[in-house]
């Protein structure tokens, strides 16, 4: 087995590791709010809208990251405005965005000189091709996402938990919702090179779902989800380098494996606790409480 020292001896692997770690910490940080608001799949929708931006960049020889971020941010704001005005359900708006985004991306890419070959790396991730410039952009965007997710946690949590109460308390609910939407689009752009547009939603949701099985508070869930994302991202890059596997898919599969192992372990521990001699049988009356 190839040791981590050997795998990360090359500069391109070091860049890939840093890109994956940035994604691993930023995606779950914001994904905690998406899971709280039952918008776990919005990352998929925004990923497909970003695909339209990538197609436009390939067609015009522009910056894929910039075009993808603008397209995803515009789509996120549009969906949030439609949802707030109540003209159609959020699910319908998300579905329209999902299919329109992927159709626009494929249409534009088919007309570009690079055709579909230039699109594959953005769909499934290509961290091994990350340059120093790409890494700098990812670091800035990732830091901005983490700053919003952690620095505004009390406000964003209040809005996600109960919008009406947050509005009555004087919080700028619409502005915070739009900020969350834009931050989600930025997160999709950050993760685009590390895990790909088709897999970004998994890294925003799976670590959070795993953390929820082990924690009781929102703060602890967010922090643990970020730690799980970092471990899955770093380990995934090492495994992909040691065994020549697809980096993005490897990262996501490791995150899913962690969730499955945690779910099985939690269920087994719960059953063992229920079967312990001191446990109260299901349906039995509570024991008398001494006064």
Using left for φ > 0, alpha for ψ between -120 and 50, and beta otherwise, residue 196 falls in left
- The whole model's pTM is what? 0.85
Residue 119 structure tokens: 């699109």
CATH fold label, 4-274: ABC transporter involved in vitamin B12 uptake, BtuC (1.10.3470)
Place of tokens 């579909």: 116
160 pLDDT tier (thresholds 50, 70, 90):
confident
For position 239, what pLDDT does the model report? 93
CA distance 190 to 20: 10
Average pLDDT (34-52) is 84
Lowest model confidence (mean pLDDT) among 88-102, 116-130, 174-188, 194-208: 88-102
For position 280, what pLDDT does the model report? 55
Nearest to 121 by CA among 104, 133, 111, 109: 109
DSSP the chain: ---HHHHTTSHHHHHHHHHHHHHHHHHHHHHHHHHHTT-TTHHHHHHHHHHHHHHHHHHHT--HHHHHHHHHHHHHHHHHHHHHHTSS-HHHHHHHHHHHHHHHHHHHHHTSTTTTHHHHHHHH--GGG--HHHHHHHHHHHHHHHHHHHHTHHHHHHHHH-HHHHHHTT--HHHHHHHHHHHHHHHHHHHHTTT-TTTHHHHHHHHHHHHHTT-SSHHHHHHHHHHHHHHHHHHHHHHHHHHT--HHHHHHHHHHHHHHHHHHHHHHHHHHHHHSTTSPPTTPPPPPPP-
What is the radius of gyration, based on Cα positions, of the chain? 21
Q: Of 86-95, 100-109, 148-157, which has the strongest mean pLDDT?
A: 148-157
Q: What percent of the chain has pLDDT over 90?
A: 36
CA distance 141 to 42: 19
Q: Examine the pLDDT at 7 and tell me if it is beyond 60.
A: yes
Q: Examine the pLDDT at 224 and tell me if it is beyond 90.
A: yes
Q: Examine the pLDDT at 215 and tell me if it is beyond 90.
A: yes
Nearest to 42 by CA among 67, 73, 63: 73
Average pLDDT (147-161) is 92
Report the 10 Å Cβ neighbour count for 269: 10
For position 44, what pLDDT does the model report? 78
The total number of residues written for the chain in this structure: 291
Place of tokens 């494929």: 106
């Amino acid at each position: 087995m190839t040791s981590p020292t050997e795998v990360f001896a090359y500069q391109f692997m070091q860049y890939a590791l840093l890109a994956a770690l940035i994604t691993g910490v930023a995606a779950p940080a914001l994904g905690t709010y998406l899971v709280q608001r039952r918008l776990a799949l919005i990352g998929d929708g925004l990923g497909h809208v970003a695909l339209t931006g990538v197609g436009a960049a390939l067609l015009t020889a522009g910056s894929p990251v910039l075009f993808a971020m603008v397209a995803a941010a515009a789509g996120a704001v549009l969906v949030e405005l439609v949802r707030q005005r109540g003209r159609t359900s959020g699910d319908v708006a998300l579905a329209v965005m999902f299919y329109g985004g992927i159709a626009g991306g494929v249409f534009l890419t088919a007309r570009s000189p690079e055709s579909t070959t230039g699109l594959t790396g953005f769909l499934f991730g290509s961290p091994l091709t990350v340059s120093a410039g790409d890494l700098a952009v990812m670091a800035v965007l990732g830091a901005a996402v983490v700053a919003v997710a952690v620095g505004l946690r009390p406000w964003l949590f209040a809005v996600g938990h109960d919008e009406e109460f947050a509005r009555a308390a004087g919080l700028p609910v619409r502005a915070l919702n739009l900020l969350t939407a834009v931050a989600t689009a930025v997160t999709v752009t950050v993760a685009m090179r590390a895990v790909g547009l088709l897999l970004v939603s998994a890294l925003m949701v799976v670590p959070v779902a795993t953390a929820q099985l082990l924690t009781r508070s929102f703060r602890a869930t967010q922090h643990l989800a970020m730690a799980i994302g970092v471990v899955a991202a770093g380990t995934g890059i090492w495994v992909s380098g040691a065994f020549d596997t697809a980096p993005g898919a490897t990262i996501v599969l490791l995150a899913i494996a962690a969730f499955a192992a945690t779910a099985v372990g939690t269920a087994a521990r719960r059953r063992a606790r229920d079967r312990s001699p001191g446990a109260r049988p299901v349906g039995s009356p509570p024991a008398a409480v001494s006064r």
